Amino acid sequence: MLAVDLLDLGFRIFLVLILARVVLSWVPNLAVRFPAVAHVVWRLTNPVLDPVRRVMPPVAGLDLSPLVAILLVQLLVVLLREALLSLL
């Protein structure tokens, strides 16, 4: 069960990072006031969000890649959780 718990924890942390990135992009000057936090958030979320952005352009000026990334990562977590539980 430890592996499943770690998987869930990792997903929750990544979800918080994606939500932090959304907030940083919406709130003016927030990234400027906290550049170290913004840098870490961008560096950790870019590997997932950039490929999604290449496939899915903005819709009506809105970047929906965080939403799509959250859904894709959630699907991956469910599949990995089932695989891990079937091994136990």
Domain boundaries, the chain: 2-87
pLDDT for 85 equals: 83
**Per-residue tokens: 51:** 């490929």
d(CA 50, CA 45): 8
What is the pTM (predicted TM-score) of this model?
A: 0.85
Alpha helices in the chain (DSSP H): 2-26, 30-33, 35-55, 65-87
pLDDT over threshold 80, residue 17: yes
pLDDT over threshold 90, residue 2: no
Measured between alpha carbons, how far is residue 35 from residues 14, 38, 40 in Å? 19, 5, 9
Q: Max Cα separation, the chain?
A: 48
Confidence bin at 86 (pLDDT 50/70/90)? confident
